[in-house]
Structure 1
Amino acid sequence: MAWKSKTRSLQVFDTELSADTVEWCPVSPSHSILVCGTYQGGEEDATPSRIGRLYLFEFRREGLMCPPLTELQRMDTAAILDLKCHVPVSDRAVLGMAAATGELQLYTLSHNQEGSHSLQSLCSLEVGAERLALSLDWSTGRMDRLATRDPITSDVRVVCSDSAGCISVLSLAEGALTALSQWKAHDFEAWISAFSYWDTQLVYSGDDCKLKGWDLRIGPSSPTFTSKHSMGVCSIHSNPHREHILATGYDEQILLWDGRNMRQPLSETPVGGGVWRLKWHPTHEHLLLAACMHNDFHILHCQQALGSAGACPLAASYILHSSLAYGADWSRLSLEDPAPCSPPTTEPKESAAESRGHLRIQYESPTASFDTSLEDDAGRYIPEGITAPQTTPTPGPALNPDEDTPSLSCLLASCSFYDHMLHVWRWDW
Structure 2
Amino acid sequence: MNRTTNGRVFVLGFLGIAAAATIAVLFGLDYASTHHGFGFVADAAAGASLDKKAIEDLATEVKSQFQKSVDAVKAIAEEALGKAKSGETISTDLKEKADAALTKMNALNEQLATLEQKVLEGAKGAQDTPKTMGEMFVGDEKVKSFLAQANPRGRVDFQTKATITSLTTDAAGSVGGAIANTRLPGILALPQRRMTVRDLLSQGQMDGNTLEYVKETGFTNNAGMVAEGGTKPQSDIKMDLVSTSAKVIAHYMKASRQVLSDVPQLQSIINNRLLYGLAYKEESQLLNGDGTGQNLLGVIPQATAYSAPGSLADLNMFDVLRLAMLQAALAEYPATGHVLHPTDWAQMETLKDTQGRYIIGNPQGTTTPTLWGLPVVATQAITVRKFLTGAFKLGAQVFDRWTARVEIATENEDDFIKNLITVLAEERVALAVYRPEAFIYGDLDTALAA
TM-score normalised over the length of structure 2:
0.18
**Larger radius of gyration between Structure 1 and Structure 2:** 2
Q: Which has the higher strand share?
A: 1
TM-score normalised over the length of structure 1:
0.19
